[in-house]
Structure formats: structure tokens, C-alpha cells
Amino acid sequence: MHSATILVEENTRLQAAVQRKERKKRQRRQYIARRGALQAQEGQRLATEADRVV
């Protein structure tokens, strides 16, 4: 009986982990296509502009 309780708890934790992984997999990603290195300030500016568009 005790092992059944442990298995139920483990199953619940594993299901939650799978759900988190699936949400992360479905999360929308945006990539900035550029040549060469991107300066931090320029990257922040581009990210801010992208947020305004969305």
C-alpha cells in the first residue's frame, strides 16, 4: 500500500514535468536574423520594437 502511494506521487510529478516540457516546446520563439555580432544596446532596441509589434 505504501509503495502505491509513492508511485502515485511520482506519477503526478512526472506528469507535471511533461506538461512543463510541452508548454516550453510550444512556446513561440523569435529570432533576429543579422550578420555578425549584435551589440547589447542594439539587441534591446530590436527586442523592444518587436514587443511593440506583437
Give the residue, 43 or 33, on which the prediction is more confident.
43
Q: What pLDDT, on a 0 to 100 scale, did the predictor assign at position 10? A: 97
Judge whether residue 4 has pLDDT over 70: yes
Q: What pLDDT, on a 0 to 100 scale, did the predictor assign at position 34? A: 64
The radius of gyration of the chain's CA atoms, rounded to the nearest angstrom, is 21
Mean pLDDT for 43-53 is 82
The model's pLDDT over 9-30, given as tens digits with 9 standing for 90+, comes to 999 999 999 999 999 888 877 6
Q: Which residues contact 32 (CB under 8 A, 6 or more apart)?
A: 38, 43, 46, 50
Q: Is the pTM of this model over 0.75?
A: no
